Amino acid sequence: MAYPTDRPATWFVTGASRGLGLELVRQLLERGDDVAATTRSTERLVAALGGTDTSRLLPLAVDLADQAQVTQAIATTEQRFGNLDVVVNNAGYGYLAAVEEVSDADARAMFDVQVFGVWNVLRAVLPGFRERRSGHVVNVSSVVGLVPFPGWGLYAAGKFALEALTESLAAEVGDHGVRVHLIEPGYLRTDFLRPVSLGMPRSTSDAYPAVREMVEQHLAMPGTQLGDPAKVATAIITVATSGEAPLHQLLGSDSLSLAAGRLEALADDFDASRDLAMTTDVIGAASAGS
């Protein structure tokens, strides 16, 4: 196992000031682990932790889209704690709009957090992980990274990219002693669907009434989601400490159900595509599908 047993583990958690990230940081501190936590406001993070002992906390104000800031944050973490064991890329926010309604600026801002920010963290931590032949990357995706919905195109696109990046990473670093996992929760009872964590388009179109209805339904959802963020945080710790989780770790009954439906739909598509697919090989060439 990459997780140490002879000392407190050191974690680097992004997106830590509210929701799942905040709950994860709280539980890690209560376990006695060392935690570097990135946020846009270190004051808000410390205040949100309330009575939790923060002597093992290193709060860091970091723009994840800035490679220099991320690299410095990783270096500061290792200088403070002497090591780094687990990285949790959790930062993110929702966005509800039809694809046509997403501006270029909003699309780039989303990918800065969900894709390029993660890439910046990985570039900063992987050399050390490889040298020590230990370390664990946990990327927090979503069931929407497997099952795209109308109105969730931008968010889903970022999570799909994160899924692909993580699968490639896992195949690359396994021989270096580095473990990699994807966490794919369903809807969590957090502020994710409230204005503080939710992006919306500057203008909308009358052409997408179903998307407008979906948005209204989601804005009314807070407080009714099935997922418990405290239990999801505990599950992430279990993934890091047990060494037994699959690459894709679904969390929540809704996540399981939606993912199962997606698998069935994909299988139907693959079967339906077979006849035409088999017509496009070079004549006489060996075919992987034959």
No. of helices (H) and no. of strands (E), the chain: 9, 9
Please confirm, yes or no, whether 231 is among the known catalytic residues.
no
Q: What is the pLDDT of residue 113?
A: 95
Point out the catalytic residue in the list 159, 187, 208, 255.
159
pLDDT in tens, 23-65: 999 999 999 999 999 998 999 999 999 989 999 999 999 999 9
**270, burial (CB in 10 Å: exposed 0-12, middle 13-18, buried 19+):** exposed
Point out the catalytic residue in the list 93, 95, 155, 208.
155
Please confirm, yes or no, whether 159 is among the known catalytic residues.
yes
- Across the chain, what does the average pLDDT equal? 93
pLDDT in tens, 142-188: 999 999 999 999 999 999 999 999 999 999 999 999 999 999 999 88
- CATH architecture of the domain 10-255 equals 3-Layer(aba) Sandwich (3.40)
Compute the distance between CA of residue 250 and CA of residue 129 in angstroms, rounded to an integer: 25
pLDDT in tens, 80-123: 999 999 999 999 999 999 999 999 999 999 999 999 999 999 99
**Number of residues written out for the chain:** 290
Residues 8-28 have a mean pLDDT of 95
- Which 8-state DSSP code applies to residue 176? G
Q: Where are the domains of the chain?
A: 10-255
